[in-house]
């Protein structure tokens, strides 16, 4: 019998992406992230023949669930959330090796039961398997899960071998520098750093990965990627929605913790990093840490580098919406920010004098995530006469979501007998060039963890360096209460202070 007949997942498998026999254990198996992202990711990897030949899916949670009910829940999640329809043949191959283990997160005996379950899988196969533990739970149970993985012997299985145990840990990775250090300490007491995969799903998005390709695979960009040619960099993560049903979480988090400290800082690091010596994971992550360490401390207080605000009542998509303080579950005296903008200065040779502006907020005009590189204007001697010339700064924009792609703004001549100019946009979109069925970020990241590729994951020192920049801001805001907290109408691009933050350097926000 052919190997691909015995193991259907081998058919069409890219050799350099092959993973060893693997058990993925999802902690929080009945949670929203598991249903919306993780189960569909596993299914689509199976659809694309990228799962290892011997692959097993184990759900873990407090609630006792029979194996068949877990499979039914997983199939329902695929039907509702997968980018592809449920193919019965593909799902049958995954479901045949899907099971569920129940137990508490702080119960050592339950983890011993999980270890016995995995040992039973190995005995049935007659070979060792790597265990990939995905912690998709509230942060409050991160530490007991990690400690019990160590106490049960699951964390140290096959350490140093190609099929050693690994752990994927979801954000938020701490709430400030102290808690991030504590979580790192717990992790390091159980796992070696090379076993740990701190996930930020933004790094799995196609356009984020394309950023490195555009920078380092095209000779026209890298020579210009410095203070001599770039005027400023703007990174925007805007959401159209309000807090909705997440008031309890958001009141404890706020915009800075929820978006800026993690997602947005990853975009900054990839934009500003020096060329790595190779595409090896550690080489890339070394350069990210270096550029984060080169960021100067933020100036706080009036006229400083940080602006915060809450949305008030307004119109979004033509419909009236309440302000933040009127949302269900929000404290009427809340000082939690729903918007923040920051000016960063990077103190190195490449970026000295180039401001990096970051902003994120809820109830903005529309949902968009983009990186905009604004190049310096040419001397205005040739095309500065009268009002015939509408010259815009050349801007390269990477749109991360929702319409993935990039655009370049140039100045072009308007057809006619006299010389008149206007800005024109050259667009590239993934959906029109490569088709719309782009792999989800979690598919890429789960696969990378299985094959020991940590390039798109966050290293421990990187997380601590980022928190080191933001913790003084959080401490200052806590001391100020609502003092200095601005407001902005829902459906607008932010408060007046955000415009003033750029205006003092002669810049203005783009409208994506």
Q: What distance in Å separates the CA atoms of residue 39 and residue 46, rounded to the nearest whole number?
A: 11
Q: What distance in Å separates the CA atoms of residue 163 and residue 20, rounded to the nearest whole number?
A: 7
Please spell the DSSP secondary structure of 95-121, one letter per residue.
HTTEEEEE--TT-HHHHHHHHHHHHHH
40 DSSP assignment: H
**Catalytic residue flag (residue 263):** yes
Output the six-digit token pair for 307.
């602006």
> How many Cβ atoms are within 10 Å of 297's Cβ, its own excluded?
10
In whole angstroms, how far apart are CA 139 and each of 135, 143, 146, 175, 281?
9, 8, 11, 10, 26
**What is the per-residue burial (b if ≥16 Cβ within 10 Å, else e) of 13-22?**
beeeeebbbb
> Active-site residue among 16, 263, 366, 507?
263
Output the six-digit token pair for 384.
């500065």
Q: What distance in Å separates the CA atoms of residue 355 and residue 92, rounded to the nearest whole number?
A: 53
Q: What distance in Å separates the CA atoms of residue 440 and residue 424, rounded to the nearest whole number?
A: 31
Torsional class of 276: left (φ above 0), alpha (ψ -120 to 50), beta (otherwise) = beta
Strand partners, 405: 399, 429
Q: What distance in Å separates the CA atoms of residue 74 and residue 294, rounded to the nearest whole number?
A: 45
Q: What distance in Å separates the CA atoms of residue 207 and residue 399, rounded to the nearest whole number?
A: 7
Full 3-state SS string of 149-177:
HHHCCCCCCCCCCCCCCEEEECCCCCCCH
Q: What distance in Å separates the CA atoms of residue 364 and residue 489, rounded to the nearest whole number?
A: 9
* Residues annotated catalytic, as ranges: 263
């Amino acid at each position: 019998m052919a190997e691909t007949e015995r193991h259907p997942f081998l058919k069409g498998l890219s050799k350099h992406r092959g993973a060893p026999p693997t058990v993925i254990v999802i902690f929080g198996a009945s949670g929203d992230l598991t249903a919306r992202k993780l189960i569909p990711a596993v299914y689509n990897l199976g659809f694309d023949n990228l799962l290892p030949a011997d692959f097993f899916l184990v759900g873990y949670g407090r609630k006792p669930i029979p194996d068949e009910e877990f499979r039914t829940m997983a199939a329902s999640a695929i039907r509702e959330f997968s980018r592809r329809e449920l193919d019965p043949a593909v799902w049958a191959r995954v479901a045949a090796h899907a099971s569920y283990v129940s137990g508490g997160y702080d119960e050592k005996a339950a983890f011993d039961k999980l270890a016995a379950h995995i040992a039973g899988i190995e005995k049935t196969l007659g070979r060792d398997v790597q265990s990939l533990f995905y912690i998709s739970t509230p942060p409050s149970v991160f530490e007991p899960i990690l400690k019990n993985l160590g106490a049960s012997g699951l964390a140290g299985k096959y350490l140093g071998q190609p099929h050693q145990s690994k752990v994927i840990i979801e954000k938020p990775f701490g709430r400030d520098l102290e808690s991030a250090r504590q979580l790192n300490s717990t992790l390091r007491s159980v796992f070696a750093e090379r076993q740990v995969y701190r996930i930020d799903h933004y790094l799995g998005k196609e356009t984020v990965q394309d950023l490195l390709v555009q920078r380092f695979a095209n000779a026209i960009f890298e020579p210009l990627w410095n203070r001599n040619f770039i005027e400023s960099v703007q990174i925007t993560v805007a959401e159209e929605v309000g807090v909705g049903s997440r008031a309890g979480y958001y009141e404890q988090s706020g915009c800075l913790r929820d978006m800026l400290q993690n997602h947005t800082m990853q975009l900054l690091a990839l934009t500003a990093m020096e060329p790595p010596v190779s595409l090896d994971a550690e080489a890339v992550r070394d350069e990210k840490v270096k550029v984060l360490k080169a960021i100067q401390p933020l100036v706080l207080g009036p006229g400083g580098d940080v602006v915060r605000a809450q949305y008030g009542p307004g119109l979004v998509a033509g419909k009236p919406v309440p302000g933040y303080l009127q949302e269900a579950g929000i404290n009427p005296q809340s000082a939690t920010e729903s918007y923040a903008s920051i000016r960063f200065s990077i103190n190195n040779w490449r970026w000295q004098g180039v401001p990096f502006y970051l902003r994120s907020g809820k109830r903005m005009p529309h949902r968009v995530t983009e990186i905009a590189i604004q190049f310096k204007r040419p001397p205005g001697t040739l095309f500065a006469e009268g009002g015939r010339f509408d010259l815009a700064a050349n801007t390269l924009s990477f749109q991360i979501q929702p319409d993935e792609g990039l655009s370049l703004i140039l100045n072009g001549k308007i057809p006619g007998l006299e010389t008149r100019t206007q800005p024109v946009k050259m667009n590239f979109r993934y959906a029109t060039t490569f088709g719309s069925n782009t792999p989800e970020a979690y598919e890429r990241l789960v696969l990378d963890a299985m094959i020991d590729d940590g390039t798109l994951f966050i290293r421990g020192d990187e997380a601590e360096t980022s928190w080191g920049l933001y913790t003084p801001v959080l401490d200052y805001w806590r001391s100020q209460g609502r003092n200095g907290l601005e407001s902005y109408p829902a459906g607008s691009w932010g408060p007046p202070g955000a415009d003033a933050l750029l205006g003092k350097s002669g810049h203005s926000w783009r409208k994506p």
